[in-house]
Structure 1
Amino acid sequence: MVNKIWLALILIGFIFAALKGDINIVTQAAFEGAATGVTVCFGLISVLVFWLGIMRLAEDAGLVKKISKLLGPVVSFLFPDVPKNHPAMGYILSNMSANLLGLGNAATPMGIRAMQQLQELNPDKEIASPAMCTLLALNTASITLIPTTLIAIRLNFNSANPAEIVGSTLLATAVATAAAIVADRWYRRRSIRRKLPPTIPPTLSLKR
């Protein structure tokens, strides 16, 4: 689906450029976008390497384990159908801890491993389980204490105060996470109600 969207955007760009009579605009924009992408990537490498190193130091110092312990009761509440000692819980905790520190690149492998473990617990392999949906929602709208990637991008574009977005990012991700949890609880209760057997009205139960 995403490939179709990108293809449609490219075709629309070519069509409008052709109608305007200057097809070179598309070529110029493509090269400028490629150059900007490479520049941004080089700017991100140093910052991401730094924060990944900090993450490793935090992990060796036991900070990640402490965060995981603090998140343990919350994760048990959000994933009631996952056993506490299952490997999926460890990957979920690592994923959430990395997202809290704004290390999306480090959180992605943990999220993939958590999904694989949750798939083993899934009774229907063709449909995502409630736990898998919960993990996807939380991973997409995770509370971020330090938006590392955004700070790196702002640094790369010579922002005067690249860290000024910390407060607004924390507020926005907190609201997004709260909305994701509310929606997840609502859909869980809705699915449970659908699975409940239909009740027999008292008037019908008296009939023979």
Structure 2
Amino acid sequence: MNVLWLIMICISIVFAIFTGNLEAFTKSIFDGAKAAVEISLFLLGIVSVWMGITRILEDSGLIYRIAHLFRPIISRLFRNIPGDHPSITAITLNVLANMFGLGNAATPLGINAIQELDALNPEKETITPEMMTFIVLNTASIQLIPFSVIGILASYGDSNPAAVVLPVLVATTVSAVTALLVLSLFRRILR
């Protein structure tokens, strides 16, 4: 992959030299780097806020109430997890982060959920059906409000950044349901 990037950069430099746009090329490199840093800092702020909210929810015990609300859905999806196992809370936190479009914040929560699910795994060399379900659910997550996308659109001056909410909700719901149905189908076929 590094070779591919190097080739593309070299071709871009050669093209900029031959077309007389070396100055514009150089300016665009620095503008792109600046934008990348700004977006990274913006996303870092979102992740930090969400992780703080997560910590407050955990410390206050509210996450257990939220997990209780999600328990019927999660219990149906994850049938072999005991009702009081910490993985339920970890999965709930991950699902909530994904629902609010905070995929970057959901990553450490997802890692924690997998670790909790692995604690239930008697065979550490294999993946459990619950782990598979979680990976599919996490990857094709339903997003109610994509805060990260809305924030990025707003930071670039979009006049209506929230216009993406309904299309994102429909697309992510369809993808999550489809992914879970395909997983269920494969499980039945491979039994």
The TM-score with structure 1 as length reference comes to 0.74
Q: Aligned partners of 2:67, 2:154: CA distance in 1, in Å?
A: 30
Q: Determine if the alignment matches structure 1 residue 16 to structure 2 residue 15.
A: no
8 Å CA contact 2:50–2:105 kept in 1: the answer is: no
* Structure-2 change in CA distance of 1:129 and 1:51 (3 Å): closer
8 Å CA contact 1:48–1:148 kept in 2: the answer is: no
How far off is 1:14 after superposition? 3.1
Q: Aligned partners of 2:160, 2:16: CA distance in 1, in Å?
A: 42
Q: State the structure with more CA Rg.
A: 1
Identify the range of structure 1 (44-53 vs 163-172) with the bigger mean alpha-carbon deviation: 44-53
User: 1:131-170, aligned counterparts within 5 Å?
Assistant: 131-170=130-169
Deviations 1:108-139 (CA, angstroms, capped at 9, x unpaired): 22211111121222233233222112111111
Q: Aligned partners of 2:134, 2:179: CA distance in 1, in Å?
A: 10
Identity over the aligned pairs, expressed in percent?
Answer: 39
Amino acid at match of 1:185: S
User: What are the ranges of 5 or more consecutive residues in structure 1 without an aligned counterpart?
Assistant: 193-208
The TM-score with structure 2 as length reference comes to 0.80
How far off is 1:174 after superposition? 0.6
Aligned position for 1:206? none
How far off is 1:171 after superposition? 0.6
* Structure-2 change in CA distance of 1:114 and 1:61 (3 Å): closer
Deviations 1:127-184 (CA, angstroms, capped at 9, x unpaired): 3222112111111111111100001100110000111111111111111111111112
Q: Aligned partners of 2:11, 2:27: CA distance in 1, in Å?
A: 14
* Structure-2 change in CA distance of 1:104 and 1:22 (3 Å): same
8 Å CA contact 2:154–2:161 kept in 1: the answer is: yes
Q: Secondary structure at the match of 1:40?
A: helix
Q: Determine if the alignment matches structure 1 residue 86 to structure 2 residue 81.
A: no
